[in-house]
Structure 1
Amino acid sequence: MMRKIIYTVTILLISISCNKTVKNEASDSIKSKYENSKKEETGKTLPSADYSSLLVNYECDMTAAEIAKVFDIPETDVSVPEYQRAGRCAFVIKGFGQNTLGDETVIQWFLENVGKAQVKKEIQNYLKDQANNKSVLGMGIEMSETGDSYVAKIPMSGRAVIMNENYDSWLLLSYSQKGMYKSRTEAQHAALGEKTMALANYLLKKHKK
């Protein structure tokens, strides 16, 4: 009788152990598939056109007439600064406020080399914050009109940033903080933000190959 009881208990323990092992293996399998799926998802890179002339070897190729068209202002309100820094594109535009010296607003853009990993991380952070409604002070990100890049907007610092995870650099477009132009109104600053986003999309379309 005792042997029968011991035998029954042994069989029961083996059965429990086997079931636990199967469950653990199944759980591990599901976890592994989930983790692999997440890795594949975060590892994906958005297919892109060739933007080498914009995000690798950019040389200022914009005219006052083009800026006037994009900003929807008279061409007479756009001029080129007397001094142009190497590697930058800059234009002076009237009607959006002056600094304490009486100088008109300057809009400029240039490349910043940060590496593909940082570009991708920044895009993901913007998208995550936006999805979770954590964007602050009007910050956000939009898919470009070309459908293969992103344009981030940072109103507080007066910036927009073209980002494409296939490239090591992003293109930073600056219209400066509102405080730098004492006579600039909130409405003018908001309008500049929208026009700078339009400029970002214009540049992407112009350089898309």
Structure 2
Amino acid sequence: MKKTITLVLFSLLFACGENNQKKHDADNGKTKSKATETATTLPSSDYSSLLLNYECDMTAAEVAKVFNIPESDVIPIETNMPNRCDFEIKGFGQNAAGGTAMRWGMAPFSKADSKKEIQSRLKDKENNESIFGMDIELSETGDCYITITPHIGGVDILNENYDGAFYFKYSQPAIYKRTAEQHAALTEKTIALANYLLKKHKR
């Protein structure tokens, strides 16, 4: 009887200790997770040529390679706008001109605004509160964030270390009679282009 009582008491003490340890581990896990989600300032490589001094450095052949489409489906569009690329991309819906007019380039954006936008997007993603498919992901270079705003046809590169951002615009699907599948595909191609340019300009 005495052995049974001792065994029961030992089991209870062990269970309490185990539960406390699990709670401690869980709390530590939550703390680490929260710290990871809120610590958005990342050490950064030099992206000055992209985020501050961009001049269009993409050819139709290069764009076609990134998009994995025929070069004949990429047509340069002449523009007088500085610090920007303009191309007509075929195969993702069309307007009167025959394809999707895409443009990308740098834009002034303060470090504080970048930080605010990144934190807001990360919080929405953490809470599963994405609106209209808006999203954010870490770039393949690991030191920038890529924000996706598909309902207006936009992707942006943000870096809190720069007073500048980089944008990609491919417009709303209705403008180009674009199907949902075509729009999703073009969004993914644009994200790939963002990662490509980051790698190309990383110093």
Provide the TM-score with structure 1 as the length reference: 0.76
SS of residue matched to 1:147: coil
Once residues 142 and 72 of structure 2 are traced to their aligned partners in structure 1, the CA distance between those partners, rounded to angstroms, is 33
Deviation at 1:90, TM superposition (A): 1.1
2:117 is the counterpart of 1:98:
no
Contact 2:107 2:166 in 1 (8 A): yes
2:82 is the counterpart of 1:67:
no
Once residues 44 and 87 of structure 1 are traced to their aligned partners in structure 2, the CA distance between those partners, rounded to angstroms, is 27
Q: 1:203 aligns with which of 197, 200, 203?
A: 197
Deviation at 1:114, TM superposition (A): 2.1
Q: Could you list the runs of 4 or more consecutive aligned residues of structure 1 that deviate by over 3 angstroms after TM superposition? A: 41-44
2:114 is the counterpart of 1:119:
yes
Report how many aligned residue pairs link the two structures. 168
1:83 maps to 79
Once residues 118 and 184 of structure 2 are traced to their aligned partners in structure 1, the CA distance between those partners, rounded to angstroms, is 23
Report sequence identity in percent.
61
Once residues 71 and 112 of structure 1 are traced to their aligned partners in structure 2, the CA distance between those partners, rounded to angstroms, is 23
SS of residue matched to 2:184: helix
Q: Please, which runs of 5 or more residues in structure 1 have no aligned partner?
A: 1-37
Letter of the 2:176 counterpart: Y
2:163 maps to 168
Deviation at 1:85, TM superposition (A): 2.2
1:190 maps to 184
Letter of the 1:136 counterpart: I
How much is the aligned-residue C-alpha RMSD, in angstroms? 1.7
Once residues 98 and 129 of structure 2 are traced to their aligned partners in structure 1, the CA distance between those partners, rounded to angstroms, is 36
Q: Please, which runs of 5 or more residues in structure 2 have no aligned partner?
A: 1-33
Once residues 114 and 126 of structure 1 are traced to their aligned partners in structure 2, the CA distance between those partners, rounded to angstroms, is 16
* CA separation of 1:131 and 1:43: change in aligned 2, threshold 3 A: closer
Letter of the 2:126 counterpart: A
Deviation at 1:71, TM superposition (A): 0.5
Once residues 71 and 186 of structure 2 are traced to their aligned partners in structure 1, the CA distance between those partners, rounded to angstroms, is 16
Once residues 123 and 159 of structure 1 are traced to their aligned partners in structure 2, the CA distance between those partners, rounded to angstroms, is 15
Provide the TM-score with structure 2 as the length reference: 0.78
Which stretch of the first structure deviates more once superposed, 155-164 or 87-96?
87-96
Deviation at 1:43, TM superposition (A): 7.8
Letter of the 1:48 counterpart: S
SS of residue matched to 2:92: strand
Give per-residue Cα distances to partners, 1:106-152, cap 9 Å, x unaligned: 11112221210001110000001100111111110000000000000
Once residues 130 and 170 of structure 2 are traced to their aligned partners in structure 1, the CA distance between those partners, rounded to angstroms, is 21
Deviation at 1:45, TM superposition (A): 2.7
Deviation at 1:63, TM superposition (A): 0.8
2:30 maps to none
Deviation at 1:102, TM superposition (A): 3.8
2:51 maps to 55
SS of residue matched to 1:110: strand
Once residues 78 and 154 of structure 1 are traced to their aligned partners in structure 2, the CA distance between those partners, rounded to angstroms, is 23
Letter of the 1:195 counterpart: K
2:201 is the counterpart of 1:178:
no
